[in-house]
Structure formats: C-alpha cells, structure tokens
Amino acid sequence: MRSGSINGVIGVLVQQLTLDNMSPLMQRVLTAVVLAPPVLLALYFGTPYSDLLILLAAGVAAWEWSRLCNRGTLDVTAGLVIGAVLAAVLAAELGLYSVSAWVVVVGAMATAVLASNRQHESVAWMVGGVIYLSWTFISFVWLSQPEIFGYQGIFWLLFVVWATDIGAYAAGRSIGGPKLAPRFSPNKTWSGLIGGALAAVAISLAVGAWVFSGGDPAYLGPPWGYLVMAGVVLAVVSQMGDLFESRLKRQFDAKDSSRVIPGHGGVLDRIDGLLAASLACAAAVWLGQRMGL
C-alpha cells in the first residue's frame, strides 16, 4: 500500500476517534474513564490534594452558576459570588467552620445588595448560589475529615451517587414511562428514579460492607437496614439535586452549565446530585452525633 493511502486511512481513523465524532454516550464514558482515577486518588491521599480538588471544583461550579445567572457573561456580582464560595470552602478546609459560616452570611448579604443596586434580573438565584454552593461544598469537606467519614466513607457516597445516575439512565432509557418532572427535566422518568434507587441500594450494601468492616475479617457485617435506607434516601436526594440544577438551567434557557467536560457539559452538570447528597448526608451525620447515635 502506498504511503498516501496509509496516511489517508490513518487520517480517517483519527477523525473517527475525535470527541466530536463520538456519540454522546461514548463521550461520557471516555471522559469518566479519564477523570475518575485522578479524582479518586486525590480523595484517597487527602490533604493537600483533596483540598485543591474540592477548591477547584467549587470555583468552577461558582463560575458556572454565575455565568448561567448572567446568561453567559460575568460581572462584578458574579465575581463576588465566586469569591464568597471560594472563601467559605477554604475556611472549612482550614477547619474554621465558624468563619466559613460567617463568610456565607456576609457573602450572601453583600451579593443581595450589589445585585439589587445593579438591578440584576436574578438576585434570588445569585444569592442562592452563594448559600447553596457554599453549604454543599462545606458539607463535603466536613464529611471527608478522617474522624467523620474519611476517604472510605467518601468513596461510599461517591459510588452511591454514581450508581444512582447509571441506574436512572439505564432504567429510564430501557423502560421509559411517566415523566418525573417534565417541566424541569423532560427526560427523567419515574422508572429512572426507581432504577437509580435500586442501583444505589446495591452499591450502598456492597461498598458499605467494606467501609464498615475496616478490613477486619471477624466483623459480622454492617448495619444492613441503615445502608438500604441510606441508599434509597441518597438516590432520591441526588435526583432532586439534579432536578434543582435543571430548574436553574431552564430558568436561564441553558442546556448545560458549561462545556468544560466533553460529553458531560459542566462541572455542575456532573456533581449536582453529589452536592445535594453531601448536604443531606452531612445533616444526617451531624444529627446522629447530637442524638448520640
């Protein structure tokens, strides 16, 4: 075969392998395979790698939220939202949770004043971004502490949320049926929610057995009832987080929060369920500690 023919064949193969020519599902799979290992490694090794990862995710998520509220542009108010979220998360990573809480309060008030003075069309959404993103990321930071969840518990939470997404996608595509919330997300179905919950329970039990045993072969088993309940609750909460972000995007006529992740959209599109699940999980753990459970 002549060199020109060989180069032509190679050119066609390369073109077919580019992300633009892949199906959306293939793009999602390839991107997940590339991004998941460094994320898990950063969380496994902890500080400073996990802190940098969380701070980066919080900054990008705040940028995407502000950009959505500004319909694709940024202004001074958006900068305040991003700065407030980053400051609150950084304070939490330093263990200054009281300072972090005050940053959220002051940041939300300052955002409300500035957005109102500039006659911003989405004052409530901008203020909500400071509060919601800050508290969800703070929750994840708190859970990741060794004395709370550690990397094992965080892995359990991640896998439960990921299982929910996969189970919901598979069930929704294969079974279909009545829509869950067509006003906000026309593709989500009740069958997807149920499929996601079943997948979440399965992974909650499987990974939970490893987390609770701590490698002790004499361990008799985790609290199965709690793991089943946690799987169901987190599946529902993560889907509600997904719907909440869909509501935000629908409010500002956007399909994705951004396009920083090929095949997935933006960071918010990928962690919307995880953020909601982190907040719910942190609240449950905190209440359990206060009740002596």
Q: What is the pLDDT of residues 181-223, one digit of tens each?
A: 877 777 888 888 999 999 999 999 988 877 776 655 555 456 7
Residue 292, phi-psi category: left (phi > 0), alpha (psi -120 to 50), beta (remainder): left
Q: What is the pLDDT of residues 38-56, one digit of tens each?
A: 999 999 998 899 999 999 9
- The pLDDT of 140-169, averaged and rounded, is 91
Kindly report the average pLDDT of the chain as a whole number: 84
pLDDT at 70 > cutoff 80:
yes
- Residue 165 and residue 242: Cα distance in Å, rounded? 10
Closest CA to 158 of 278, 20, 279, 38: 278
pLDDT at 258 > cutoff 90:
no
Q: How many CB atoms lie within 10 A of CB 265?
A: 19
Q: What is the pLDDT of residues 85-94, one digit of tens each?
A: 999 999 999 9
pLDDT at residue 13, rounded to an integer? 36
Question: Where does the pLDDT of residue 1 fall: very low under 50, low under 70, confident under 90, or very high at 90 and above?
Answer: very low
- The pLDDT of 63-77, averaged and rounded, is 87
Of residues 293 and 48, more confidently modeled: 48
pLDDT at 263 > cutoff 70:
no
Closest CA to 150 of 199, 85, 234, 215: 215
pLDDT at residue 63, rounded to an integer? 94
pLDDT at residue 261, rounded to an integer? 75
- The pLDDT of 177-181, averaged and rounded, is 81
pLDDT at 285 > cutoff 70:
yes
**pLDDT above 90 covers what percent of the chain?**
44
Question: Where does the pLDDT of residue 265 fall: very low under 50, low under 70, confident under 90, or very high at 90 and above?
Answer: confident
pLDDT at residue 215, rounded to an integer? 53
Tokens found for residue 76: 């001074």
Question: Where does the pLDDT of residue 15 fall: very low under 50, low under 70, confident under 90, or very high at 90 and above?
Answer: very low
- Residue 200 and residue 240: Cα distance in Å, rounded? 15
